[in-house]
Amino acid sequence: MRKKIVAGNWKMNLTFEEGQKLTTEIVNMYKDENIKDVTVVLNPPFVHLFSVKKLVGNTPNLFLGGQNCSDKASGAFTGETSATMLKSFGAEYVIIGHSERREYFKESNELLTAKVKQALENGLTPIFCCGEPLEIREAGTHEDYVKNQLTESLFGLSEEDFAKIVIAYEPIWAIGTGKTASSDQAQEMHKALRDHLASKYGQEAADNTSILYGGSCNPANAKDIFSKADVDGGLIGGASLKSRDFMDIINSF
Ligand code: PEP
């Protein structure tokens, strides 16, 4: 049985006080609303990790993740954060290959393979992002484009390592734009990606892989999107900065 996961990506938002307030609200609501069977991951900026972890404590099924990690283990790489450091601060997950990293920081499929390896070597679960830009969707080649992202970055992994990966399908034209993929569009892609994973790792491994949807997910559309057979949760940007919205998305399962 694959996990249902909702991960909040705070991106480069929130001061220390704002991060504390948001986390406190989420932890309290999470306990009050008795969330079950959903794994929730908070992905704050690195500087918040320690203080967010203190507030989250050992709340069951509520985890911490990074938004990125270095492809290197350690050393003279000013400004970088290693997977080892993330783990030592209590993170269990790390987002890898977000489209903003791919676009603004020129992260290639090859570099992302190295980041995934660093994450796995340090016991972190990679939330591996993939997704097509608008022009690729309009050209109708989106399926091949996204499958290729998975092939190039992940298909060198052993079966054992692949079993630890979470995928997030995020059409770039839907991220932060208020334009969501329809639930049918999401299902179509998730099914195509699962079939692609099955072609390499077998049906059982593909069926056990959580594939999250990301792109303007909100309390009004989450129920419809999460109801689809191959959608196992969401990677949430904007709406993860509002505790009530984030909880309502979690409660959409
Ligand atoms: C994201 O950053 O991964 C994301 C999906 O953002 P938003 O929900 O704001 O579109």
For ligand 1, residues with CB inside 6 Å are 9, 170, 175-176, 214-217, 235-239
Beta carbons of 230 and 213 less than 8 angstroms apart: no
Using DSSP, state whether 154 is helix, strand or coil: helix
Respond yes or no: is residue 98 known to be catalytic.
Answer: yes
Cα(7) to ligand 1 centroid in Å equals: 10
pLDDT of residue 141: 98
**Residue 87 confidence (pLDDT):** 98
- pLDDT for 180: 84
Selecting from 3.40.720.10, 3.20.20.70, 3.40.50.2300, 2.60.40.1930, what CATH number does the domain 5-250 have?
Answer: 3.20.20.70
Q: Given this model, what pLDDT does residue 126 score?
A: 98
- pLDDT at res. 36: 84
| CA dihedral sign, ordered 221, 224, 228, 232 | positive
Cα(73)–Cα(54) distance, rounded to whole angstroms? 25
pLDDT at 74: 98
Q: What is the pLDDT of residue 225?
A: 98
pLDDT of 178 reads 81
Per the annotation, the verdict on 142 as an active-site residue is no
CA of 215 from ligand 1 middle (Å) equals: 5
Instruction: Give the pLDDT means over successive 10-residue stretches in the chain (253 positions).
Output: 96 98 97 91 98 96 98 98 98 98 98 98 98 96 98 98 98 89 96 98 98 96 98 98 98 94
**How many whole angstroms from 45 Cα to the centroid of ligand 1?**
15
Given 98, 142, 190, 196, the catalytic residue: 98
pLDDT for 176 equals: 84
